[in-house]
Amino acid sequence: MAFLLGFLIAFAIGVTGVGAGTVTAPLLILALGLPPEVAVGTALLFGFLVKIPAGGVYLLKGQVDGRALFRLLLGGVPGVLLGSLLLTQLKGAKDLVLLLVGLTVVLSAGLGLWRSFKGLPQGKERPHLLPPAAFGIGLEVGFSSAGAGALGTLLLFHATRLSPQKVVGTDLLFGLVLALLGGGVHLYFGQVDPGLLLALASGGVAGGLLGALFATRLPKEPLRVALLLWLLFIGSQLIYRGVAHG
């Protein structure tokens, strides 16, 4: 079950650049009953592992913008470290974490659907926006494991003139670094399920690689829309649980 789950999530990540933390952590909470802080830590390290092959494909194809990536990491690295540390202090506030993760998922999915249906105009070069906005994304990733894919993609479309392929590739590398750092903090505090992580990653590495390799041959937009609609449902379930038990 975990092998197949990891494969499917990673395949979607390889194609769309969206889904590592946004899908994984909610499913681990809802389907497997993991405590929110353990689900977030496990999802972060899973995201790191599955983004390695997918990110490598985009990097080898020259679909990563180094300057944009540097600006993203400038703000995202301190953000994700702070967010991860905040979550370690809120282990007792599970309902609050459920609510915040759910709100993040719904916001990310809603923004992604808005972009898909309305379409965004070609972005203007606004490089000064990348570090401060990436700090907020990093904070969210460290706290909920969600946001790097959907929010990072939206930020790059808004603040750069990169091609869609370079947006996905640059954001994948950005998310990879954030997942490693945030997951490392959670691992240090014992908020990772190693056995589950291994099972997820064993399917996820292959899924991420195949997704990236087939990204140019698959209809990206229908898959992205289906994924985002599923995320809206999952996010709403998390919000309901956080509010109902709060």
What is the per-residue pLDDT across 160-185, written as a single tens digit (0 to 9) for each? 888 878 888 999 999 999 999 999 99
Return d(Cα 110, Cα 98) in angstroms, integer. 18
Q: Which structure tokens are listed for 209?
A: 């690689």
Q: Which two tokens stand for residue 242?
A: 């956080």
Give residue 69's pLDDT: 97
Most confident segment among 12-21, 118-127, 146-155: 146-155
Q: How does residue 9 score in pLDDT terms, banded at 50, 70 and 90? A: confident
Q: Is the pLDDT of residue 140 over 90?
A: no
Higher-scoring residue by pLDDT: 239, 180: 180
Per-residue model confidence as pLDDT tens digits over 25-59: 888 888 888 888 898 899 999 989 988 888 888 89
Burial classification of residue 225, based on how many CB atoms lie within 10 Å of its CB (0-12 exposed, 13-18 middle, 19 or more buried): middle
Q: Residue 152, CB half-sphere, CA atoms under 13 Å: how many?
A: 39
